Structure 1
Amino acid sequence: MTDIRSTPAGSIPPVNPAPVGLDAVVPFQIDALDARGRAVLLGDALDGILARHDYPEPVARLLGEMTVLTVLLGTSLKFEGKFIVQAQTDGPVSLLVVDFVTPGTVRAYARFDEGAVDAAVAAGHARPEDLLGTGTLALTVDQGAYMNRYQGIVQLDGASLEEIARNYFRQSEQIPTELRLAVGRLSVRGDDGSMRQFWRAGGIVAQFLPDAPERMGATDLHPGEAPEGVEIPTLEDDDAWSEVKALVGTVDDDELIDEGVGVHALLFRLFHERGVRVFDAQDIREKCTCTRDKVAGVLASLSDEDVAEATRDGKITITCEFCSTVYEFAPGDAKT
Structure 2
Amino acid sequence: MTNTPAQPVSAGVDAVVPFAVEALDVRGRVINMGPVLNSMLARHQYPAPVNKLLSEAIVLTAMLGSTLKFEGRLTLQAQSDGAVSMLVVDFNAPDGLRAMAQFNTEKVAEVSAKEGFKPDDLLGKGHLAFTIDQGVHTSRYQGIVVLDGTTLEEAAHEYFQKSEQIPTLVRLGVAEMLTKADEGGADHSWLAGGIMVQFLPQSEDRIKQADIHPGDAPEGHEAHPLSEDDAWVEARSLVETVKDDELIDPNLSVEGLLYRLFHERGASVYTAQPMADKCSCSQEKISTMMQNFSEADKTEMKAEGLVHIKCDFCSKDYELNANEVFKD
TM surpasses 0.5: yes
2:264 partner SS: coil
How far did 1:296 drift?
A: 2.0
CA displacement 1:252-287 (0-9 Å, x = unmatched)? 111101111021211111111110110001011110
Partner residue in 2 for 1:3: 2
| 1:178 matched residue in structure 2 | 169
After superposition, the Cα gap between the structure-2 partners of 1:134 and 1:269, relative to the gap in structure 1 and judged at 3 Å, is same
Q: Does 1:127 align with 2:118?
A: yes
Structure 1 SS opposite 2:76: strand
CA contact (8 A) 1:26 1:282 kept: yes
Q: 1:201 to 1:149 in 2, by over 3 A?
A: same
* Secondary structure in 2 matching 1:53: coil
The one-character-per-residue Cα deviations of 1:270-324 (angstroms, maximum 9, x if unpaired) are 1111101100010111100111222122224433421355689763211100000
- CA apart distance, 1:232: 2.9
Moved more, 326-335 or 312-321: 312-321
1:121–1:32 distance in 2 versus 1, CA, 3 Å: same
Is residue 2:38 matched to residue 1:39? no
Distance 1:224 1:159 in 2: 14
Is the aligned partner of 1:291 residue 2:282? yes
Q: How does 1:214-229 map to 2 (within 5 A)?
A: 214-227=205-218, 229=220
- CA distance in 2 between counterparts of 1:282 and 1:324 reads 26
TM (normalized to structure 2)? 0.92
- C-alpha distance in 2 between matches for 1:214 and 1:331: 60
CA deviation string 1:189-244 (max 9, x = no partner): 35666632211110000011122221111232221255555443211222211111
Q: 1:130 to 1:310 in 2, by over 3 A?
A: farther
State the shift of 1:245 in Å. 1.2
Structure 2 residue runs without a partner (length 5+): none
Aligned residues: 325
Q: Do residues 18 (structure 1) and 8 (structure 2) align?
A: yes
Please give the alpha-carbon distance, in whole angstroms, between the structure 2 residues aligned to 1:57 and 1:107. Answer: 18
| Equivalent residues of 2:239, 2:261 under 8 A apart | yes
Matches for 1:70-85 after TM superposition, within 5 Å: 70-85=61-76
**Paired residue for 2:55, among 51, 60, 64?**
64
SS in 2 for 1:321: coil
Match of 2:308 in 1: 317
Q: 1:13 — aligned with what?
A: none
Gapped regions of structure 1 (runs ≥ 5): 6-15
Quickly say closer, same or farther: Cα 1:296–1:206, change in 2 above 3 A. Answer: same
The one of 247, 250, 271 equivalent to 1:280 is 271
Determine the C-alpha separation between the residues in 1 that align with 2:295 and 2:218: 59
Residues 1:310 and 1:162: Cα distance change in structure 2 (over 3 Å): farther
TM-score normalised to the size of structure 1?
0.90
Task: Tell whether the 8 Å contact from 1:25 to 1:284 is kept in structure 2 after alignment.
Answer: yes
| Residue of structure 2 in register with 1:307 after alignment | 298
Aligned to 1:212: 203
In structure 1, what is the equivalent of residue 98 of structure 2?
107
Moved more, 326-335 or 45-54: 326-335
Contact 1:58 1:126 in 2 (8 A): no
CA contact (8 A) 1:86 1:98 kept: yes
CA distance in 2, matches of 1:42, 1:302: 38
Residue 43 of structure 2 aligns to a residue whose secondary structure is helix
Distance in 2, matches of 1:184 and 1:331, equals 44
% identical equivalent positions: 48
* Cα separation, partners in 2 of 1:38 and 1:261, compared to 1, 3 Å: same
Residue pair 1:84, 1:100 contacting (<8 A) in 2 also? yes
C-alpha RMSD over aligned residues: 2.2
C-alpha change, 1:314 and 1:149, in structure 2 (3 Å) is same
